[in-house]
Every structure is written in structure tokens, then in C-alpha cells.
A and B are shown apart, each in its own frame.
Chain A
Amino acid sequence: MQKGSFIKTIKSLEIPLKVGRVAKERYPLGLPLVTDSFRGAIVIDTTKCLGCGACTLACPPNALSMIFERERIVIEYFKGRCVFCGVCADKCPAEAIIITKEFELASASLEDLKEEVIHESSKCIVCGKPLASKKQVGHVKDALPNAKKYINMCSECRSKKIAKILALRLGEST
């Protein structure tokens, strides 16, 4: 070994002396581990959520899903699949999705990783099929007062009704 390189090797001891012995954080007592712009798990604000399901379509890994049950519509968020990209928050029309800094998600049970937002479902006034969440229907009613006639119908019944009206009109004119 050359003399110069020996001195350099000795020099390497300088680095740990400067840095100190502990380069780690005193978890969980120390400073927060994440910065301000960190994207962690999401929280859905149940008061704002309309139950429209836009987030479930946008979610790349299918962590958000929309489940139609008899009386209700459930938006389910499964943290186990989430990639923490935050696309859902960009797409949410009601701004109900908040990106938190939560990342300590480990749990012994799978159910802890699931969060649900339950909506009452409104039914088609003609055929009685579940249509959409009551909240969403109400939201559309407020936004589009002219849509009142058709808003309580499912798409099939609506097209049938419109077809009937059109047929009647055509019948009148001929």
C-alpha cells in the first residue's frame, strides 16, 4: 500500500466522527419521517362523498371499488391494493377525497385495511332497480332543474319513455 493511500484510509475515520454515531431517526419518538408533500393513504369524507364512483373508475390498481347492494351502494377503499398515487383525489367531483400522510398501515387483520362509505341507493320509479346513490341523484337535481322528469329512472326505462314520446309525436305529425 502506498503511503498516500494509507493516510487517506485514516482520513475515512474523519467522516463518522463528523456525522456522529447515530444516523437514524429515533422512531417513533423523533421527528416526523415524511415531508409535507408525501402522499399516503386517502380518507373519504363521508359528508361530501356523492357516491358517483368516479374514483373507482380512475383508480389504476382497483383499490377503490363500487359495490351495488339491494338497499345501498358501497364505495370500498382497500388500502392493501392502494399505490398512493392520488389520482382519485384529482378526479373526485365533490373534493371528498383527502390525501393524508398516513403510511403506518400494518395490521393483523385484513378488515382493518378496508374502509367503506355507505350510501342509500335510490330506485328507478318505473322498474325498481337500484339506480344511483340518493345523494348523487339529489346533486344532479340541484344542478340541473330541468332533469327532474327523468332523474329517477334508470337508463333503460328512460330510453323506453323517450322512445314512447317520440313515437307519439311522430304519430301525431303523420
Chain B
Amino acid sequence: MNAIVEEIANKAKELSGVIELVSETSVFVEVSRRSVREYVKWLYEKGAFLKTCVGVDERIINGTFALYYIFGFDEKGLDVIVKVSSPGGGAFKSISDVIPAAEWCELEARDLLGLHIEGHEKKPRFILPEDWPEGVYPLRKDAPHDYRPPANVEGFRKELPRRIGVPVGPYHPVLHEPIYFELYVKRERVIDVYYRGFHVHRGIEKLAESPRFTYNDIPFLAERICGICGFAHSSCYALAVEKAAKIDVPERALWIRSIALEVERIHSHLLWLGVTLHILGYDMGFMHVWRIREPVMVFAELLTGSRKTYGIAVIGGVRRDIDEDGKRKAFEVLRSVREEFKKLVDVILSVPEVVRRASGTGALPKDVARALNVVGPTARGSGFKRDVRKDYPYFAYRYASFNVPVYTEGDNLARLLVRIDEVFESISIIEQLLDTLPKGPIMTRSYEIPPLKKAVGAVEAPRGENVHFIITGSGKPYRWRVRAPTYANLPALKVMLKGVSLADAFLTIASIDPCISCTDRAVVIYDVDTGSSMCTSLVERGRRHAER
């Protein structure tokens, strides 16, 4: 047991907590509801990032409701999962005033499981629509998975604020997914934001609990969480299950998964860059970036059988092998993409409308990035060297050498440059992994998944850290929780948008590469009036502003 694990255990014992399970990469701790705040504060000050929290209905197992807070020590590669439980689902203490990033997931647990969390009583509904009947909590095990309440339009009307700002969405030509912002402006500057999202909550976690799904069906469902980084989700699910059941995956499969993930990152970053240039009005750049992206898509199809939804991840391995012909083709494509992209980047970064508009706008200071635990290029643009591939090496990443690009400015240009650099890094990773591709089988079928094992899987998706939490059951997961990267990054927009001119607001929103279908679960309102009040309840304050 290394020093940090011992320290975590000692602190837990000090607060009369129980160490449930210790493995190489994770520590499971159970603490009482009374001392959880002190414990998570200690963890947070020790340098842990909050990844997410998960509410679980464990009444069938032990008669309680549980709330798992998932922390990660990046530099140690260690997950710390803090469990709090309550027999009736009541009297949980919110930690969102200690760690602001916990607000969303706590509200989600409140809405979907009916947990009573002190500190969140007065906040409006977060995840469920306004016309959802009272007292029906979809993620409880006794709620049927196919329950459909009758729609009630009246419920929505009172939700609208009296004063309306500049509306952006829910369907907007610039933002391609259903998301709604209301920007309050003073002259040209944005002073406040009203955000309402989660129009496309699809209840995927509940669907996976329906009788139809087994362990090996869910990768195909997980792949459809996101239209751009689907493989990151399906492979992350497989990783979580493999960790829980301690399945040894053949090496060749790990290599192929890493290669597919990097192909996905290249195409996603190129797509984002194209859209961003389009938002900036530089359409020539947009078209050429997408022209360069096309061979990557064709290459993905050659590798996996499909342009986008690869469908190759299953528990225990992958379904498609890479042959010599594919390898040769891969090197060709990567070489030409690198050359062409280098030339184009040279041009893009010399275009004044790109650089001048992106630099200095949408700034995210480092301390706010820390408090909100942002992930991916958003964190790396604000000076945090957070990358799951380096911090918690999974699949074949420990066998490739690559840099993690970090910029400290925190503005839109920094996030743009991080992504451009990452494309080159990804190309180099794929080349290295193809060179060292080990021989052998690509799938193992000899495994058993024991019930009631817990594990956290994390994969670096193009947008940031993807977290899947699994409690195994018999024949299918007992609980499967997905935390998409945008879920962690979206709350940072309230700080980024403060003070930008209206024209740059779209660029700023796009700069976190929001993936709404991944995230969508909730209704939130928030306020950017004063930076100092960030740790108080964002939901209530934003609401008051909207009605003023």
C-alpha cells in the first residue's frame, strides 16, 4: 500500500469511516453522512478532482440508498470513491458549497432517485421536465423502465422568465444541438446567462436496466450516447466492466481500441475546428478542414466497418482485426493528413479574423477551472495538465510516448491551439501503436462477471474525461452511470461568457466543444453576476435574476 492510500485510509478511520476495498487504481471508502463534508474537503484540499457523483438505489441489496462521490488523484492515478448511504434516502448533506462541481450530479441524484439532499431543497427541477408527476423517481428499481407520464403543457408555462434576454436556441443555426441560452447584455457585453438544456434526455441508464439488455448489448447502446465520440463511450463501458470483473483483455485488442480512440479524436477535433472556423465566418478554412477530415472517416470505415458508430467494442476485446493492408493504408492516410493539416494550420493561424477574435475572449481562470473540475481541452487550455491517457493509463497508452499540450491563457485561442496540437499527437500515437501492434487473439470469451462488484472506468474522449461507473449485477449491470465530458465543462461557460461581446458568445459556447446529447439530463439556471458568489447556489441566484 503506498503512502497516499494509507493517508486516505487513516483519515477515513479518524472520521470513523470504513475502507471497503483497495486495489491498485481505486480505493472505496464509506463514511457517515455527518462526516462526509469534512472528508471530501480534506480530499479536495489534498488535490483530488471530483469526477462525478452517482446515486444508487441499493434497497434490494442492503436496504439503503447510496451516493458515491468519485474523486481522482490525477498525478497518482488513483480513484477514491466515497460512499454515503441512508436507509430512507433522506438527510444527505450536500457538498456543493465545498466543491461547486458537485452541484449538477447531486441535483441529478435528487431528481432521479428522490434522495433528500440538504442544501438543494429549494432548487427547481434539474433533470425531469416540469410536467413530470411528483413522487415518481425513474432510477429507483421499482419504477418501470417503460413508464410514460401523460404530457401536461400547463406545467411548462410558469417556467418562463418574465424578462427575456437574447435567445440562443433551442435550435440555432450555429449550435447544432438542442440547447437554450438566454444572454443578458449591457450594450454589447454579456452580463448574465440563463441556461436551459437537457431537452434530449433519453434515459439511457434506465433503458440499460430493462430486461432486454445484457452485458454485451450495452456497448452498442453506449455508442449511441454521443454522435461524435461514441467509441469513447462504448470502450469506456467495456473498460469499467473489465475492471470490475478483472478480465484480462488480449494485448492486440487493447492496441486496436487505442488506435480507434485516436482516430476518433482526430476526426472529432477536425470537425470541431471546422465548425469553429465556420462560426468565425472563415468558411474557406471550414471546408478545407473537413476535406482533410474525410480520408480519416474513410480510414475509420476501413478499420472498423463503419464511418462513425464503429461497433467493435465488446467486453473482453474487439470485433475487428487490423490486417497488413489496413496498416499500410493507415500510414498513407496519416502521412497525408499530417502534411495537409500542417499547411492549413499555418494558414489558419495567420488569418486575423481567427486569431484576433479567439485571443482574449472567453477566458477561464485557473482557479475557476479547478473549482468546477473541468476536463479535457478546456482544462488544458487553462493550464491544467489533466489527461486520462497519462494520469490513469488504460488500454495501450502506456506503450506510446506523447506530449500533453497545455496552454495557460485560458481563452478561446488556447483551447483551439490545444486541439490543433492534439491532432498531431494523435497521429503520432497511432503510428507508434501500429508499429508495435502485438500478435495474438483479439477477444477473450472465457470470463465470468461476478455480481455486486464496483468499478470506475475513465477514458479520454476528444472533449475530455469520460467516466463510467459500474455496479455489476446478474446478467447485466445493476447500475451503470455515465458522465460525459461536457457535463463537467458546461458549468464553466457561465464564467467564460461573462464580459465577452455578444458576437463572441457563440465562439465561446463552441469553444468547450459542447456535446449536448451526451450531457442532456437536466434543467439548470445560473448566474454570473459576481465571481465571488460562485460557490453559493447557482441555480437559485440565476432564477432570481431571470425573474427580475
| Residues of A near any B CB (own CB < 8 A) | 1, 4-5, 8-9, 11-12, 15-16, 19, 23, 34-39, 60-62, 83-87, 90
Could you say which of B302, B311, B326 contacts A83, with CB atoms under 8 Å apart? B311
- B109 nearest CB across to chain A (Å): 28
B326 / chain A contacts, CB cutoff of 8 Å: 37
B163 within 8 A of A: no
A37 touches B350 (CB 8 A): no
| Residues of B near any A CB (own CB < 8 A) | 212, 217, 220-221, 224, 284, 287-288, 291, 294, 298, 301-306, 309, 311, 319-320, 326, 343-344, 346-347, 350-352
Could you say which of A4, A19, A35, A60 contacts B220, with CB atoms under 8 Å apart? A60
A38 touches B306 (CB 8 A): yes
- A85 nearest CB across to chain B (Å): 4
- A29 nearest CB across to chain B (Å): 19
Could you say which of B212, B288, B311, B347 contacts A8, with CB atoms under 8 Å apart? B347
Could you say which of A11, A36, A61, A84 contacts B306, with CB atoms under 8 Å apart? A84
A–B complex contacts, Cβ < 8 Å, 29 sampled:
A1-B352, A4-B350, A5-B350, A5-B351, A5-B352, A8-B346, A9-B350, A11-B346, A11-B347, A12-B351, A15-B344, A15-B347, A19-B291, A23-B291, A23-B294, A34-B301, A36-B302, A37-B326, A39-B305, A60-B220, A62-B212, A83-B220, A83-B309, A83-B311, A84-B306, A84-B311, A85-B311, A87-B220, A90-B319
Could you say which of B294, B302, B343, B344 contacts A37, with CB atoms under 8 Å apart? B302
Could you say which of B220, B224, B301, B309 contacts A38, with CB atoms under 8 Å apart? B301
- B321 nearest CB across to chain A (Å): 10
B291 touches A38 (CB 8 A): no
Q: Tell me the complex Cα distance, A167–B346, Å.
A: 87
B301 touches A35 (CB 8 A): yes
B311 touches A86 (CB 8 A): yes
Q: Tell me the complex Cα distance, A1–B350, Å.
A: 9
Instruction: From known contacts A12-B284, A15-B343, A60-B217, infer whether A39 and B306 are also in contact, taking CB-CB under 8 Å.
Output: yes
Instruction: From known contacts A1-B352, A8-B346, A11-B347, infer whether A86 and B220 are also in contact, taking CB-CB under 8 Å.
Output: no
Interchain residue pairs A-B with the least CB separation, the first 7: A8-B350, A60-B220, A85-B311, A39-B305, A5-B350, A12-B347, A60-B217
B309 / chain A contacts, CB cutoff of 8 Å: 83-85
Q: Tell me the complex Cα distance, A37–B323, Å.
A: 11
A16 / chain B contacts, CB cutoff of 8 Å: 284, 288
B351 / chain A contacts, CB cutoff of 8 Å: 5, 9, 12
Contact count A vs B, C-beta below 8 Å:
65
B347 touches A35 (CB 8 A): no
Chain A residue with minimal CB distance to B347?
A: A12
- A157 nearest CB across to chain B (Å): 27
User: 14 other contacts beyond A37-B304, A83-B311, with CB at 8 A cut-off?
Assistant: A4-B350, A11-B346, A15-B288, A15-B344, A16-B288, A23-B294, A35-B301, A36-B302, A37-B305, A39-B306, A84-B306, A85-B309, A86-B319, A87-B220
Q: Tell me the complex Cα distance, A1–B343, Å.
A: 20
A90 / chain B contacts, CB cutoff of 8 Å: 319
- A134 nearest CB across to chain B (Å): 29
B347 / chain A contacts, CB cutoff of 8 Å: 8-9, 11-12, 15
- A169 nearest CB across to chain B (Å): 36
Instruction: From known contacts A1-B352, A9-B351, A86-B311, infer whether A60 and B221 are also in contact, taking CB-CB under 8 Å.
Output: yes
- A142 nearest CB across to chain B (Å): 27
B212 / chain A contacts, CB cutoff of 8 Å: 62
B343 / chain A contacts, CB cutoff of 8 Å: 15
Q: Tell me the complex Cα distance, A61–B221, Å.
A: 8
Q: Tell me the complex Cα distance, A4–B346, Å.
A: 12
A36 / chain B contacts, CB cutoff of 8 Å: 302
B302 / chain A contacts, CB cutoff of 8 Å: 35-37
B311 touches A39 (CB 8 A): yes
Max chain B CB contacts within 10 Å: which of A36, A38, A85?
Answer: A85
Q: Tell me the complex Cα distance, A38–B297, Å.
A: 12
Q: Tell me the complex Cα distance, A5–B346, Å.
A: 10
- B202 nearest CB across to chain A (Å): 14
Q: Tell me the complex Cα distance, A15–B61, Å.
A: 63
B344 / chain A contacts, CB cutoff of 8 Å: 15
Instruction: From known contacts A15-B347, A23-B291, infer whether A37 and B301 are also in contact, taking CB-CB under 8 Å.
Output: yes
- A80 nearest CB across to chain B (Å): 15
A85 touches B346 (CB 8 A): no
Q: Tell me the complex Cα distance, A85–B304, Å.
A: 10
